[in-house]
Structure 1
Amino acid sequence: MLELQGLTRCFGAVTAVDAVTLTVPAGQMVGVIGRSGAGKSTLLRMINRLTDPSSGRILHRGRDITALRGPALRRWRTGCAMIFQQFNLAPRLDVLTNVLVGRVNHVPAWRALTRLWPEADRAIALSALAQFDMAQLAAQRAGSLSGGQQQRVAIARALVQEPQVILADEPVASLDPRNAALVMGALAAINRDFGITVLVNIHSLDLARAYCERLVGLDAGRLVFDGPAAALTEAAARRLYGLEAAEAVGAEAPSRIPVPA
């Protein structure tokens, strides 16, 4: 179980996240929604400890994550994988090597530095790629892939970390609708097949409704909605998104695109 207790982050006089208290049961997929600047990215970055809270606590299975330092913090970041909007791949390296980067904390440092990965780890990486129908691209340079393919490589890299939690920060913001649905389907498959807790920041309310069982809404850093997707009315959504409502709320929810099992 992941618990946020009065989590707050201030940047000077600006409060980006304001006393957010939230409990996420293990194995749940949660969509974090709200307009641009609502505090969604800052919230996820605090959970991963890329940004330190100004106050409040983060607990995972009763352990105080906000108190972690050094090796313990590095281990948390392995167990709490982060997926970014811009993929964060090494474009000149092949797809398999990019995925194997997720195994860095599972092998001796010299193996990672020399890229002499054990066969067992290579098999784990290939299996992760196969989860998303990407194994046939293992030898291809990452930079030659489409945006949607690169994001699925990033998801495979997160999966091989063997995390308990995956945080996805606007993973579909730069993708076309079909690739956005493929990436959301990949995250949903990880959640379904491996029981990994997934928190995904997403601007599109239609995608959030289609793939997430629970929605958490932020407005000016405050938690203003928490419930199942069906409980979020159009009127509530428009209050959440304000002037961005037309962009965030489409005419109808997109069709789910299945990911190969």
Structure 2
Amino acid sequence: MLVLDGLSKRYGDTFAVADVSLEIPAGGFVGIIGRSGAGKSTLLRMVNRLAEPSAGRILVDGQDVTRLSGRRLHSWRADCAMIFQQFNLVGRLDVLTNVLLGRLQRTPGWRSLLKLWTHEEKAIALSALDQFDIAQVAAQRADSLSGGQQQRVAIARALVQEPRIILADEPIASLDPRNTKTVMDALLRINKHYGITVLCNLHSLDIARLYCDRLVGMAAGRVVFDGAPEALTDHVARDLYGLEAGEVMDAGPAPDTLPAALPQPALA
């Protein structure tokens, strides 16, 4: 259980996030929606401790994440993987090495610095790439891939961290409809078949309704909607987005029907 208790982030006299309290059971797929500047990205970055809260607490199974430091904070960041809009890959490195970077928190520093990855670690990384149909590009430079391929590499990197939670910050913002569907299907597969909690900032309401089992709407740093996708009516959406509502209510692609069982990578 992830609990946000009165979480706030203040910059001077302005609150980017103001007194947010949420309870998110393990295994959920939660979409965070709202206008640009609503506080969605700041909220996710606080959960990962990339941004320090000004007030409030973050609790995971009773552990106060806001008090962690040093190795315990590094361990939490391994348990709480981030996926960014701009992929955050090392373009000059090959795809396999980029995925293996997800193992840094679980690998001795001297060995990762010298790129002395074990056969088991390489097998884990290749298995993750195979899950998203991109194992064939493992030897290519990351910057030679399309945007959709790069985002799938970023998701594979997150998966090999063996996280409890994945935080995806606008992961499809720069993608075309075909790659949008591919990336969202990949996140849904991780959520359903590995039971990993996913918190995903999304711009398109229709994408959010299709893929998420719960939506949290933010405005001016505060939670103004929290419920099932079907409860987010067009009327509520227009109240949430105002003049932007027409831009975010385009029809999105339907997710793939997931098979009853999926071969899982041999994650340690």
Classify the TM-score, shorter chain: over 0.9
Q: Which residue of 2 aligns with 1:23?
A: 23
TM-superposition CA deviations, 1:207-246 (whole Å, max 9, x none): 1111111100001111011111011000101111112111
Report deviation, 1:254.
2.2
What does residue range 33-44 of structure 1 map to in structure 2 within 5 Å? Answer: 33-44=33-44
Gaps of 5+ in 2: 263-268
Q: Which residue of 2 aligns with 1:150?
A: 150
Q: Which residue of 1 aligns with 2:94?
A: 94
Q: Which residue of 2 aligns with 1:57?
A: 57
Q: Which residue of 2 aligns with 1:172?
A: 172
Report deviation, 1:173.
0.5
Q: Which residue of 2 aligns with 1:185?
A: 185
Report deviation, 1:247.
1.0
Letter in 2 for 1:45: R
Q: Which residue of 2 aligns with 1:224?
A: 224
2: CA distance, partners of 1:247 / 1:183: 21
TM-superposition CA deviations, 1:66-97 (whole Å, max 9, x none): 00111111100000000000000011111000
2: CA distance, partners of 1:9 / 1:219: 14
Q: Which residue of 1 aligns with 2:266?
A: none
Q: Which residue of 2 aligns with 1:131?
A: 131
Q: Which residue of 1 aligns with 2:121?
A: 121
1: CA distance, partners of 2:26 / 2:247: 32
What does residue range 64-75 of structure 1 map to in structure 2 within 5 Å? Answer: 64-75=64-75
Report deviation, 1:35.
0.6
CA contact (8 A) 1:182 1:259 kept: no
1: CA distance, partners of 2:107 / 2:223: 40
Report deviation, 1:181.
1.2
2: CA distance, partners of 1:178 / 1:67: 42
2: CA distance, partners of 1:159 / 1:253: 25
Q: Which residue of 1 aligns with 2:265?
A: none
Letter in 2 for 1:175: L
Report deviation, 1:108.
1.2
Report deviation, 1:134.
0.9
2: CA distance, partners of 1:197 / 1:8: 22
2: CA distance, partners of 1:23 / 1:121: 34
Gaps of 5+ in 1: none
CA contact (8 A) 1:95 1:139 kept: yes
Q: Which residue of 1 aligns with 2:111?
A: 111
Q: Which residue of 1 aligns with 2:255?
A: 256
Report deviation, 1:110.
1.4
Report deviation, 1:257.
4.1
Letter in 1 for 2:141: R
- Secondary structure of 2:22 counterpart: strand
- Secondary structure of 2:217 counterpart: strand
Q: Which residue of 2 aligns with 1:194?
A: 194
1: CA distance, partners of 2:258 / 2:78: 25
Letter in 2 for 1:190: I
2: CA distance, partners of 1:258 / 1:201: 22
- Secondary structure of 1:216 counterpart: strand
Letter in 1 for 2:219: D
- Secondary structure of 1:35 counterpart: coil
Letter in 1 for 2:236: A
Report deviation, 1:255.
2.1
2: CA distance, partners of 1:52 / 1:142: 31
Q: TM-score normalized by structure 1?
A: 0.97
CA contact (8 A) 1:8 1:53 kept: yes
Report deviation, 1:259.
7.6
2: CA distance, partners of 1:255 / 1:161: 28
CA contact (8 A) 1:99 1:160 kept: yes
CA contact (8 A) 1:169 1:200 kept: yes
Letter in 2 for 1:228: A
Q: Which residue of 1 aligns with 2:245?
A: 245
Give the superposed CA RMSD. 1.1
CA contact (8 A) 1:85 1:172 kept: yes
